[in-house]
């Protein structure tokens, strides 16, 4: 980024800086841009995809399993209505 581009950026941002602040920020921005360019220049090949930093499949396969019987699940609840858990607070809040 050159001085002219930086001054245009300040104008668009509606920022007013003195000469010393401009030079300091311009230097910082150039360092950031150089750092990002360095990161972007790194080549990542196929071998990196199998690296632990690039997991291929981190989820288990979906499997449909048999559920517990509804009666078994509801038997420990104090309040059951129409085959569902009945929550007194849900009635007050609209159930959401």
Alpha helices per DSSP H over the chain: 3-13, 19-40, 70-74, 88-93
pLDDT at 2: 83
pLDDT at 87: 79
pLDDT of 15 over the 70 cut: yes
Q: What share of the chain is helix, strand, coil (3-state, %, to 5)?
A: 50, 5, 45
pLDDT of 79 over the 60 cut: yes
Which structural domains are found in the chain, ordered by start?
A: 3-47 (1.10.20), 66-93 (no CATH)
pLDDT at 62: 86
| Beta partners for residue 7, in sequence order | none
21-42 pLDDT, tens digit each: 999 999 999 999 999 999 888 8
Q: Angle of helix 19-40 relative to helix 3-13, nearest 10 degrees?
A: 110
């Amino acid at each position: 980024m050159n001085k002219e581009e930086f001054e245009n950026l300040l104008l668009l941002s509606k920022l007013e800086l003195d000469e010393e602040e401009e030079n300091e920020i311009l230097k910082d921005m150039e360092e950031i841009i150089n750092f990002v360019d360095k990161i972007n220049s790194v080549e990542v090949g196929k071998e990196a995809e199998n690296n632990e930093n690039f997991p291929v499949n981190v989820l288990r396969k979906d499997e449909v399993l048999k559920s517990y019987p509804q009666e078994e699940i509801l038997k420990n609840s104090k309040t059951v209505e129409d085959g569902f858990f009945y929550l007194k607070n849900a009635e007050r809040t609209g159930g959401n």
